[in-house]
Structure 1
């Protein structure tokens, strides 16, 4: 059982070394420069979420008004 665990951990470490990480691997990079890609990606995600939330909110208001108008028309 311990052999399987150590094999698994070794494979995980090997795969993690192959991954690209969203920060600068240069040890001389400090502060904002080190995490520029990470910050840029986070900003893009936040903008996308805001735009999607706005679209959903506007769609909700428009559909709600349309349904109210239709129900008033048929209700008399």
Structure 2
């Protein structure tokens, strides 16, 4: 796992409002694998990633809470 792989998925996920459910699940699985399966959560401890996840959940343009991605 390299930081450039994480950067690529962060750039991909920034367009969360344009992504469909399957694409969002793919991004979620990637971050899950980095943090828990490979035990490299330190690669995700970045302010830009935390800010992105916060925007996705709380807004100003959050994901729809009725979307299957929240289940």
Q: What TM-score results when the alignment is normalised by the length of structure 1?
A: 0.27
**Which is richer in helix?**
1
Higher RCO, 1 vs 2 (CA within 8 Å, ≥6 residues apart):
2
Greater C-alpha radius of gyration: 1
Q: What TM-score results when the alignment is normalised by the length of structure 2?
A: 0.28
